[in-house]
Structure 1
């Protein structure tokens, strides 16, 4: 949803940006600076020394693989040491014969893992202090603590996950909402958009999402992420994807975990592409049409049709969210497909008003909308499913249940 900037109403802000006419260009932010200088200004600058800016966090879980990411403040060669009982296996990424090195944003894909198996791991990064064509010099090596994760089973009988949305640069909300889960176990966390107000720089991503996630769960439990409309804004919006590992490296994706087949859609912006505030450098209509073609092919698949439950997660709900262009375009493109291929549930955010809308003449499936971002309106959505039932429970930030829904297969 739209938010007023401090001391400047939204209409005036949009008008001023329109007059500038170069929203998103580097000169608009640091006049006289080169592109390289501006990019450098967006990178986090921690205290002196060689340190982890973000300790390891888990991505893209699968029965036979896991991706581990972390961020350093120095250019490094980095790797993972892991194993079931010790840390005797070493892994690093290789691209076209070259080992990933001389970088700060790290991801290592662990393959060939056993399903349903616990692994211990730690990450290490060795600083590269001099990189000449025929002479490379290393500096200090830093190592993380040892953590553990468990790979998903193949075709597990049940799955459970937690959903947060519309955090809007309030990092304290992440551990607060996670504490509401109680003693219930869960397989992963899903961030359903608008974790930020807009994309400013790397430090914002680290401080407002990665660090609180890592401290709460993300070194031992994976999370998945989809953009909201606010993640499409700001001068660092194009770099955001470099910090996450989605299936297929797309903003939209699909996966099955046990009895649930999940489809994740990137709903883009809520205003028309030609709105002056976008300055002619967005094309979300085409992007949503691309997803509509893709999602229909996914829904035609045998796996989707045979799944006990079919759930869509998308930031902007296509009903119950007003008549702005984004929601209406989502309704035009996706509602007929959801009806035709019999989606069981849609889970969204965006409106900042939590609620559960049961099936109706407009939509033959329940639409669940999480709240946020202010105190008293934040929510944690808990999903648990087995072969017979899928249960959704929505908790407000005081721990009270403010919505529930049960599906029977």
Structure 2
């Protein structure tokens, strides 16, 4: 009888894997290791990881990195804060350590675990004390087919910029709220990259659902996975926040709450006004999920734009990084009277997508550069008074680029679009099959590339 029961369990597990794909179950060895910041990037580092539900105590060991293999002898051990989560049939403990005893501009080695169940040693670098040139990576929606298709994008991005100081994710990291397997794929795709380059995430609509009372509910994995600065409005601390890296202030807004909750929209606008008014950094980058100007046909977020664009204009926000529309669009939507080469204000708006789910472009074109049916990642570099933006395809080809140069209270915008790279706006066959003849004609009036 016992052998029959074992056979039954085996067959059930095989069936589940066949139907749902690979299972990512926790064990005593740490997995889902992610770096974030809940404090100053110069003097702190937050590390998050997961084990099975039986592993209630876990540790982090950290030491200054050294070329000698003897560095572990000087490692400091810190016990993690641990919390339990059971969701989607998976029970696990999530562990977090905020390291405060680190020096600016220093390379550290760390590992996590306990007894005989330790991770490998990873490296992280603290931000320098004084401003220095740095780069970061920006991803639009990953969302679907994370293991088979998004993995190539994050790995190509890391290959291109292994010294990136952080990775910014503009929402919809996964597709189905509270889905543990999809989070397993997200972690698998990034693997050791998540454990060596901090993540700066903002949530999208796919990280949300509604509870039994109809209230918006953020994915239960979010606060277990990402521990960000708690300087946001009350009740939104895990998704609305700002952090300063070098001479740049990065701000995350929660656009799902903005779109669907008027009270939250007003609360975030009031908070943002204060954060921007107190900002003394050279550069201001804001990220959220739903675009101010949509790049997909048939979408618009007027209540979002009407509330927040005046603040962006007032405080001369430099760059807004968005997702949601599963296309690429980049433009300034310039105010009246501002020229392309001498803009004292004006914000560059970018929408991008890193995963394989694609939509068709809007025919209400506001973009200076656009793309459809293309997986991309972006590298943003800041060096004093110059910000450089480069968008690359999943195969590593430069697709779009521009520079912003500041001086004498003005901005100069310098286009660097590759001359030998035409816009990727052709409609794929499966788009042609679902669009009407009139829709295709309207599309061709806007985008010169014929299908």
Displacement of 1:256: 1.5
Structure 2 unaligned spans of 5+? 1-22, 65-70, 85-91, 212-216, 231-236, 337-344, 358-372, 407-451
Superposed CA RMSD in Å reads: 2.7
Cα distance in structure 2, aligned partners of 1:395 and 1:234: 36
Task: State how 1:58-69 maps to structure 2 within 5 Å.
Answer: 58-60=35-37, 62-69=41-48
2:176 alignment partner, one of 193, 198, 205: 198
Rounded Cα–Cα distance in structure 2 between residues aligned with 1:145 and 1:318: 42
2:96 counterpart residue number: 107
Distance of aligned partners of 1:250 and 1:208 in 2 relative to their CA distance in 1, 3 Å threshold: same
Partner of 1:143: 118
- Give, in whole Å, the separation in 2 of the partners of 1:190 and 1:50: 30
Partner of 2:18: none
Answer yes or no: is 1:259 the counterpart of 2:253: no
CA distance in 2, matches of 1:384, 1:320: 25
List per-residue Cα deviations over 1:227-275 (Å, max 9, x = no partner). Answer: 011211378844132221111142111112112221111101696x4xx
Q: What residue number does 2:284 align with?
A: 310
Conserved in 2, the CA contact under 8 Å of 1:226 and 1:265?
A: yes
Which of these residues, 201, 225, 229, is aligned with residue 243 of structure 1?
225
Residue 227 of structure 1 corresponds to 203
Alpha-carbon shift at residue 72 of structure 1 (Å): 0.5
**Cα contact 1:45–1:73 (8 A) shared by 2:** no
State the partner residue of 1:121: 110
**Cα gap change, 1:322 to 1:148, in 2 (>3 Å):** closer
Match of 1:278 in 2: none
Q: Secondary structure at the match of 1:242?
A: helix
1:188 maps to what in 2? Answer: 166
Residues 294 and 300, structure 2, Cα contact 8 Å, conserved in 1: no
Q: Report the TM-score, using the length of structure 2 for normalisation.
A: 0.67
Aligned to 1:8: none
Distance apart, 1:57 and its partner CA? 2.0
Cα deviation code 1:331-390 (max 9, x no counterpart): 121111011111111111111110211342389221111135327421101100111210
For 2:220 and 2:144, how far apart are their aligned partners in 1?
Answer: 17
Mapping 1:271-310, distance limit 5 Å: 273=260, 284-301=261-278, 304=279, 306-310=280-284
- Structure 1 CA distance, aligned partners of 2:80 and 2:29? 21
CA distance in 2, matches of 1:308, 1:77: 43
Distance in 2, matches of 1:287 and 1:213, equals: 32
1:276-304 deviation digits (Å, cap 9, x = unpaired):
xxxxxxxx322222111110000110xx2
Partner of 1:355: 329
Q: Report deviation, 1:92.
A: 2.1
Structure 1 pair 195–183 and aligned structure 2 pair: CA distance change class (3 A):
closer
Which residue, 83, 90, 100 being the options, matches 2:77?
90
Give the number of equivalent residue pairs.
Answer: 329
In the alignment, the residues of structure 2 paired with residue 242 and residue 326 of structure 1 have an alpha-carbon distance, to the nearest angstrom, of 32
**Structure 1 residue 336 corresponds to structure 2 residue 310:** yes
- Structure 1: stretches of 5+ with no match in the other structure: 1-43, 95-99, 127-140, 274-283
1:237 & 1:101 partners in 2: Cα distance?
Answer: 17
Contact 1:230/1:269 (<8 A) preserved? no
Change (3 A) 1:269 1:350: farther
Distance change (3 Å), C-alpha of 1:333 and 1:321: farther
Matches of 2:405 and 2:218, distance apart in 1: 40
Q: Tell me which moved more, 75-84 or 316-325.
A: 316-325
TM-score of the aligned structures, taking structure 1 as reference length: 0.73
Q: Confirm or deny: 8 A CA contact 2:241 2:251 kept in the other structure.
A: yes
Q: 1:377 to 1:323 in 2, by over 3 A?
A: closer
Query: How much does 1:319 deviate?
Result: 1.6
Task: Name the SS of the counterpart of 1:213 in structure 2.
Answer: helix
Residue in 1 that maps onto 2:355? 373
Q: Bigger relative contact order, structure 1 or 2, given CA contacts below 8 A and separation 6+?
A: 1
Q: Distance in 1 between matches of 2:354 and 2:124?
A: 30
Shift of 1:203: 3.0
Taking the aligned partners of 1:161 and 1:83, their CA distance within structure 2 comes to: 25
